[in-house]
Structure 1
């Protein structure tokens, strides 16, 4: 044994003899449960929670695990906020606008009619004031939020009969996501808030006359083309629908800085992957739907104009009656105005040209 080895071993021996072993700070394993609002069959939207859980486990070397649960396994699809707020589960993955009944402000975190598109909403959340404002809002619900994916612009849904004028919306029973139903009501329609896994049966049985969900890839999986052939666009109520991860505040605050960073980066990864999947998979799905007999139709301009008018009127009313809404929507609307100014010159012009070019 050489001199250096003797000294090293002697040093260790003296420490052990003194009864003072080196401190080893091993972090305890963390096990979280996450409840989703979306059925497992939808590998895009439910899959974002799986991507999050896989990333957390990988980045922590297996020391931090999140189990993902479909609606009904732990709580119902629309029970996510209550479950996370109460600490029944540590995390949730949902569309905030489902909870507009608690406060209309929730809708601004997902999508509002004629709101931000997906890129604009991501920009507002990450580099504008969106995340800061919503952290303040969610604090009253014991929730820490993170962007959790975006569908991109959505389709306008499936209808048993064609929508030729605004009058065709009168009395129309339509499954429509959350807050947008308020605008549909003002246009004479009858909104229905139904979880994704229950929509097909309602449309098949005639309980509803129309439904929207997301876009071609998920709509094909849910089979709407089998019971309603008229497929309209655009989904003016969802120019870019964002999901969120909800984390119980106490559970989040109990994490080490390292694990907080893991959560932040895992949610951002899931956010990116989800939209990438929709953008990659929707084109082929749309072709298949058309081949199966779907009629792809544009909403008539008078319908769009009425929807826009009623949406703006609703936002003015909410700003006058709801301080939470007014605080966040004022910032949101200012950001939207500047974004549309920019997109008009570069993004929109480029897109219009490319979509008309013969490739």
Structure 2
């Protein structure tokens, strides 16, 4: 029996039923107030998988509250630009946003740690750290100082290394390379001689076509194919070592979050975690097919050489050591991730790695 049916029958069920209904209605109204929020996304509607995660979360919340709590989702640029999403949430322009926290690393590199930094954890490792390693609580200690509360809200899995107009075989090929690369990764790449470029999504293709930039990293086959990079930069490199498991976050204005009834807070936690898992599954399903499509249309897959990977790892470690020496919050969060990272890759190389390796061999032999 649903709630409305119960209350209706109670109202006509005699004196006792009438009294129960009179008491129940105000209690329910108080516990489930009508609330309307706005969410600004850092992503355009054309990127349906990552932008769509905001709509998925909002739909879950609406359905779970019988329409009492509604969140209207706005694409990047409709209220504020994609890179202003966290600021708009912190200052109360909107109640929440869906964004990647490494966008704001310039304020403090600690922002990037809960999302993705070079040679951190993969998607499953990030989720393990967030949900069971204290990562959510630790990051929220940092976010509280920004007037924000955050919950993981999506992951793309390990991203691709990007599209390049020429082959990148050695460290010499990296020097002087003008590359559109976002966030904290650019700081590491500068040590390799790369010249990082910050270019909005809508301008990337033209810059690549004209030779204003030599390469671009974006996400992976499904999103990349929509932007047509393979037409002007056919060399498609992997892996994106700077985004092994990039967590996207739902960020909430601290006062707005604190003002919610506990029931609504719990519903948001559940909806955000469900969205977190759903986005990763969505990307895993779509990237598998999109990879075949971009290759059929001119993409040439290339792995980064061991020379480049090793030098990048060393550059990242040197950068972290420098930041840890002057930033105690960064040191605390990164120390927690590093401690778990060692155990994670110990466990991952046992059952999971060997099973996957065997199955990959079967795929290459045409047996799947």
Length-normalised TM-score, structure 2: 0.91
Listed as ranges, the matches of 1:19-30 within 5 Å are: 22=23, 24-25=26-27, 26=29, 27-30=32-35
**Which structure has the larger Rg?**
1
Distance apart, 1:202 and its partner CA: 2.4
Distance apart, 1:170 and its partner CA: 0.9
Listed as ranges, the matches of 1:48-67 within 5 Å are: 48-67=53-72
Deviations 1:182-217 (A, max 9, x none): 111010001112333332232223221100111000
Distance apart, 1:9 and its partner CA: 4.5
Listed as ranges, the matches of 1:274-293 within 5 Å are: 274-293=279-298
| Residue 265 of structure 1 pairs with residue 267 of structure 2 | no
Length-normalised TM-score, structure 1: 0.94
Query: Structure 2 CA distance, aligned partners of 1:233 and 1:144?
Result: 33
Distance 1:62 1:355, change over 3 A: same
Query: Structure 1 CA distance, aligned partners of 2:107 and 2:202?
Result: 23
| Residue 185 of structure 1 pairs with residue 190 of structure 2 | yes
Distance 1:175 1:10, change over 3 A: closer
Partner of 2:98: 93
Listed as ranges, the matches of 1:45-124 within 5 Å are: 45-124=50-129
**Correspondent of 1:43 among 42, 45, 48:** 48
| Residue 125 of structure 1 pairs with residue 113 of structure 2 | no
Distance apart, 1:226 and its partner CA: 1.5
3-state DSSP class of the match of 1:302? helix
Distance 1:159 1:62, change over 3 A: same
Partner of 2:164: 159
Partner of 2:6: none
Distance apart, 1:30 and its partner CA: 0.6
**Correspondent of 1:176 among 172, 175, 181:** 181
Q: How many residues align?
A: 350
Partner of 1:334: 339
| Residue 137 of structure 1 pairs with residue 142 of structure 2 | yes
Asked if the contact 1:152/1:279 (under 8 Å) is kept, the reply is yes
Q: Which runs of 5+ in 1 are unaligned?
A: 16-20
Distance 1:356 1:84, change over 3 A: same
Query: Structure 1 CA distance, aligned partners of 2:93 and 2:339?
Result: 37
**Correspondent of 1:316 among 317, 321, 335:** 321
Query: Structure 2 CA distance, aligned partners of 1:354 and 1:118?
Result: 20
Listed as ranges, the matches of 1:203-352 within 5 Å are: 203-352=208-357
Distance apart, 1:278 and its partner CA: 0.6
3-state DSSP class of the match of 1:281? helix
Partner of 2:7: none
Query: Structure 2 CA distance, aligned partners of 1:178 and 1:88?
Result: 24
Deviations 1:87-133 (A, max 9, x none): 11000001100110000011111111111000000000000021111
